[in-house]
Amino acid sequence: MKNWFLSAMLFCLCFAGLAQAEGDAAAGQAKSAVCAACHGADGKSIQPAYPNLAGQHASYIAKQLTDYRDGNRVNALMSGQAANLSDQDILDLSAYFSEMQKIPGVATEENLALGENIFRGGVTAAGIASCAACHGPAGAGNPAAVWPVLAGQNAQYTADQLRYFRAGERNNDPNAMMRNVAKRLTDAEIEAVSNYIAGLYSQVSD
Ligand code: HEC
Ligand code: HEC
């Protein structure tokens, strides 16, 4: 009898914990006015150096906001924005932006073929894994693994992040997964794969 009661209690506690870990998109919207100044009211950023957030996986957005808040990812414009967010604020904002309609990006013809080769096949001679191996053939990422959507992202933002990973300035990637990829990419390869990614659009739900 006592054991049964204990199990029931534990079940309820776990359930409450799970329920709390859910983000509320409506609450996120109410907290997002300040974010819209840079990331846009529709999740499309106001300039190409800033990331679009619309349709990004909630799990990935939440990880990044937590990393900025806790100092594991540092940026002059973003770190202060995350400094005072509670765990619940982070879940709510992540739910809100992840549910937005993804926005298609545009690639230019120049270096598109090179970019596609790298995305789909990596650079064998340099031992660089294909981006599709983790980010998926459509650039849709994987919400459970916390691998981000890349498709449609601004080429300038993507190229900046690849350079930050290459230099080790961004080092919040688990097991150095991205630093190991980026450290062998040349500038021309970074420009080409970022251009290809901008034109990769997919409808992603999570
Ligand atoms: C002053 C402009 C500005 C404001 C305001 C701002 N951001 Fe950002 N945000 C940026 C920039 C610039 C980056 C890229 C920084 C970097 O390179 O790490 C970024 C990055 C991010 C990322 C990482 C995206 C990715 O793909 O890795 C998330 C998530 C994010 N912002 C969410 C928010 C939220 C939520 C708010 C509101 C609480 C907010 N931002 C407010 C400029 C801003
Ligand atoms: C072994 C798996 C793996 C491979 C291969 C890989 N990535 Fe990643 N990538 C990740 C993970 C994990 C993250 C998220 C890191 C974090 O948590 O901040 C990421 C993040 C990124 C980001 C940052 C996205 C953002 O919104 O800030 C870019 C850009 C990126 N990857 C591009 C690439 C490109 C281009 C390639 C191929 C040349 C590639 N990745 C190959 C796992 C991988």
Query: 67-121, pLDDT tens digit by residue?
Result: 999 999 999 999 999 999 999 999 999 999 999 999 888 899 999 999 999 999 9
Domains of the chain, each with CATH number or no CATH: 19-98 (1.10.760.10), 112-198 (1.10.760.10)
37-73 b/e (C-beta count within 10 Å ≥ 16 → b)? ebbbeebbbeebebbbbbbbbbbbbbbbbbbbbeeeb
Say if residue 23's pLDDT is above 50: yes
Say if residue 35's pLDDT is above 80: yes
Say if residue 21's pLDDT is above 80: no
What's the rounded Cα separation, in Å, for the pair 57 and 65? Answer: 12
Q: For all residues of the chain together, what is the average pLDDT?
A: 90
Q: Which atom of ligand 1 is nearest to the CA of 164?
A: 17
CB 51 less than 6 A from any atom of ligand 2: yes
Atom 33 of ligand 2: nearest residue by CA position = 131
CB 65 less than 6 A from any atom of ligand 1: yes
Number of neighbouring beta carbons within 10 Å of residue 124: 10
Q: What is the average per-residue pLDDT within 37-62?
A: 97
CB 105 less than 6 A from any atom of ligand 2: no
pLDDT in tens, 149-182: 999 999 999 999 999 999 999 999 999 999 999 9
pTM score of the predicted model: 0.92
- Measured over the CA atoms of residue 107, residue 76, residue 189 and residue 206, the dihedral's sign is negative
**Token reading at 109:** 């013809």
Q: What is the average per-residue pLDDT within 26-37?
A: 97
CB 93 less than 6 A from any atom of ligand 1: yes
- Tell me, what's the pLDDT at 201? 76
Q: What is the average per-residue pLDDT within 17-40?
A: 87
- CB-based contacts of 161, cutoff 8 Å, min separation 6: 170
